[in-house]
Amino acid sequence: MKQAKYIFVTGGVSSSLGKGIIAASLAKLLQARGYRTTIQKFDPYINVDPGTLNPYEHGECYVTNDGAETDLDLGHYERFLNVPTSQANNVTTGRVYLSVIEKERRGEFLGKTVQVVPHITNEIKERMQLLGKSGDYDIVITEIGGTVGDIESLPYIESVRQLLWDLGDDNAIVIHLTLVPYLAAAGELKTKPTQHSVKTLMESGIKADILVCRTEHELSSDIKRKLAVFCNVKPEAVIQSKDASSIYEVPNNMLAEGLDKVALQKLNLPEKGLPDLTKWNDFLHRLKNPTATVNIGLVGKYVELQDSYKSILEAFVHAGAANQVKVNVVSIHSEYLTKENAADKLKNLDGVLVAPGFGSRGIEGKIEAVRYIRENNIPFMGICLGMQMAVIEYARNVLKLENANSTEMNDNTPHPVITFMEEQKTITEKGGTMRLGGWDCQLIEGTKAYDIYGTSLINERHRHRYEFNSYYKEKFQEGGMIFSGVNPDTQLVEIVELKDHPFFVAVQYHPEYKSTVANPHPLFVNFVKATVQKKLNN
Ligand code: GLN
């Protein structure tokens, strides 16, 4: 089997420089040159996965087909590459320690003292090479979370150092992403933070091969030369990454700077001609030349933090480009939405999406939003908790099931139209125990969902504990609600929709996780189309 080549991406000076986007952009270019490329992320926190983290802590939790709850950067990897990721693509310190401690309990270390070096580093190294050894990839890009110099990143940095030594020069390189700040008072770009950050990396025994410099202003050739000399890299390996208006511009910017070329040279791999970005550039063209703007409300309780709904926002970007319109997402805080102000907040919107979520904060606002949208024929899409709220709203206001609710919010509701799944009843642990990952869904012919997908069997990703209560199925059907998608094995309801409404589709699963640049999600595409139609009719 051919040896996979490794590219490690570390970060310096500051967090939030966009290592994930740089890694995804480089991967895109390498993929477009014909290399089978994947990206993995190693996160230095002690949670075993981000599934138990509040979105305010770490943004959205992204879910893969195999049901892994992962870092949101994996979403970028999939959106850029259009290749699914899995549990193997995201490893945290917690997962590494858990596995080493379990091995210790099983006696696998044969009486040895278990230590960070070599036991933790060996575990990390093994996991870093897992995808590379599968034979599925030519190049594996590994993003190391955090910033060089952080205490918690040390075992990862040491593992990278050892792997560079094990694999040899042609097989592994390091890209260091840094910040070149602009000091307005001095009118100058400053290289010193980068020099120090590269030095910190050196103290751990790692020499950066390529520098990617985030900057608000153009780096002059003088600055580039200075960075090259003092950071000990080749001049062509100083890559400028100037702020871009969209993350989807970054691959082309990196191409112009020659990031992929330098990486291939260092790995001793042929360029194989120019990268084929035809489809990507076609998407960019549609993204940058919208023919109209639609305003879509996003009703949720984490709206202050953009990262909480990352995949939904990106799915709108893809669906907007597919319709060649700009989707302007208007954040609406569900906690402050009431019967009294719903009309004010929603009447000028072309469509509304009610977001996923957990717990009772803000749910009455979501229910009011659905009521207003349903009664006023505004295109609506509900996701997960959003679908559950649509069901509750229908139960209360149309079927007159007073105080209908989800047992997540009220255990004593007289009408538990949304309730715990049977197999969830005995579960006491919170981590990794929801209904997770890809599940089949059978679509019913003649429904909107069937039309949208154009097929009868789909597979979508889930992340929830509660379900539509099948006990109420007939009552809802008699009352006009259509169950257009069900799980073929359990008959659990996956999609609800309404007739005689321009667009009213709510899903128990998360379509946003599967939307990519190459494959915009059909539900989002058709929802945006309905909002364009609504705007035209107004
Ligand atoms: N809280 C709901 C449940 O657990 C919905 C979850 C979600 O929106 N992801 O079923």
What is the pLDDT confidence band of residue 425, given thresholds at 50, 70 and 90? Answer: low
pLDDT at 362: 85
Q: Are strands 210-215 and 172-179 parallel, antiparallel or unpaired?
A: parallel
Clarify whether 415 is annotated catalytic.
no
Instruction: Find the helix or strand (DSSP H, E) in which 22 lies.
Output: helix 19-32
Higher confidence at residue 421 or residue 238?
238
Inter-residue contact 44 to 263 (CB < 8 Å): no
Clarify whether 384 is annotated catalytic.
yes
Residue 427 has pLDDT above 70, yes or no: no
Instruction: Please tell me the distance between residue 437's alpha carbon and the centre of ligand 1 in angstroms.
Output: 13
- CA distance linking residue 406 with residue 421, whole number of Å: 12
Quote the radius of gyration of the chain (alpha carbons, Å): 25
pLDDT tens per residue, range 63-108? 999 999 999 999 999 999 999 999 999 999 999 999 999 999 999 9
Q: Which of 93, 203, 106 is nearest to 156 (CA)?
A: 93
pLDDT tens per residue, range 481-491? 999 999 999 89
pLDDT at 306: 83
Q: Which of 416, 353, 412 is nearest to 385 (CA)?
A: 353
Atom 8 in ligand 1: which residue has the minimum CA distance? 356
Residue 284 has pLDDT above 90, yes or no: yes
What is the pLDDT confidence band of residue 55, given thresholds at 50, 70 and 90? Answer: confident
Residue 421 has pLDDT above 90, yes or no: no
pLDDT at 2: 76
Cis peptide before 155 (omega within 30 of 0): no
Instruction: Please tell me the distance between residue 281's alpha carbon and the centre of ligand 1 in angstroms.
Output: 36
Q: Which of 61, 213, 231, 384 is catalytic?
A: 384
What is the pLDDT confidence band of residue 432, given thresholds at 50, 70 and 90? Answer: low
Which SS3 state, helix, strand or coil, does residue 536 take?
helix
Residue 9 has pLDDT above 80, yes or no: yes
**Quick one: tokens of 358?**
């957990």
Q: Which of 397, 403, 482, 395 is nearest to 443 (CA)?
A: 482
- pTM flag (> 0.85): yes
Residue 174 has pLDDT above 80, yes or no: yes
Atom 1 in ligand 1: which residue has the minimum CA distance? 358
**Shortest-distance atom of ligand 1 to CA 463:** 9
Instruction: Please tell me the distance between residue 480's alpha carbon and the centre of ligand 1 in angstroms.
Output: 24
**Shortest-distance atom of ligand 1 to CA 383:** 8
Q: What mean pLDDT is predicted for residues 378-393?
A: 97
What is the pLDDT confidence band of residue 315, given thresholds at 50, 70 and 90? Answer: very high
Clarify whether 441 is annotated catalytic.
no
In the chain, pLDDT over 90 holds for what percent of residues?
Answer: 87
**Shortest-distance atom of ligand 1 to CA 434:** 4
pLDDT at 63: 96
What is the pLDDT confidence band of residue 360, given thresholds at 50, 70 and 90? Answer: confident
Instruction: Please tell me the distance between residue 205's alpha carbon and the centre of ligand 1 in angstroms.
Output: 45
Residue 422 has pLDDT above 80, yes or no: no
- CA distance linking residue 530 with residue 538, whole number of Å: 12
Q: What mean pLDDT is predicted for residues 213-219?
A: 95
Range list of β-strands (E), 30-158: 37-43, 62-63, 69-70, 90-92, 139-144
Residue 428 has pLDDT above 70, yes or no: no
Higher confidence at residue 54 or residue 159?
159
Residues whose CB falls within 8 Å of the CB of residue 307, separated by 6 or more in sequence, listed in order: 55, 58, 59, 60, 72
Q: Which of 460, 462, 512, 521 is catalytic?
A: 512
Q: What mean pLDDT is predicted for residues 330-340?
A: 92
Mean pLDDT of the chain: 94
pLDDT at 5: 97
pLDDT at 13: 86
Instruction: Please tell me the distance between residue 341's alpha carbon and the centre of ligand 1 in angstroms.
Output: 26
Q: What mean pLDDT is predicted for residues 302-316?
A: 91
pLDDT tens per residue, range 61-70? 999 999 999 9
Residue 434 has pLDDT above 90, yes or no: no
- CA distance linking residue 131 with residue 213, whole number of Å: 28
pLDDT tens per residue, range 31-45? 999 999 999 999 999
Instruction: Find the helix or strand (DSSP H, E) in which 298 lies.
Output: strand 293-300
Instruction: Please tell me the distance between residue 534's alpha carbon and the centre of ligand 1 in angstroms.
Output: 29
Which SS3 state, helix, strand or coil, does residue 71 take?
coil
What is the pLDDT confidence band of residue 429, given thresholds at 50, 70 and 90? Answer: low
Residues in the ligand 1 pocket, defined by CB under 6 Å: 356-358, 384-385, 408, 463-466
pLDDT at 423: 64
pLDDT at 3: 82
Atom 3 in ligand 1: which residue has the minimum CA distance? 464
Mutate to test the pocket of ligand 1, among 69, 361, 367, 408 (most ligand atoms within 8 A of CB): 408
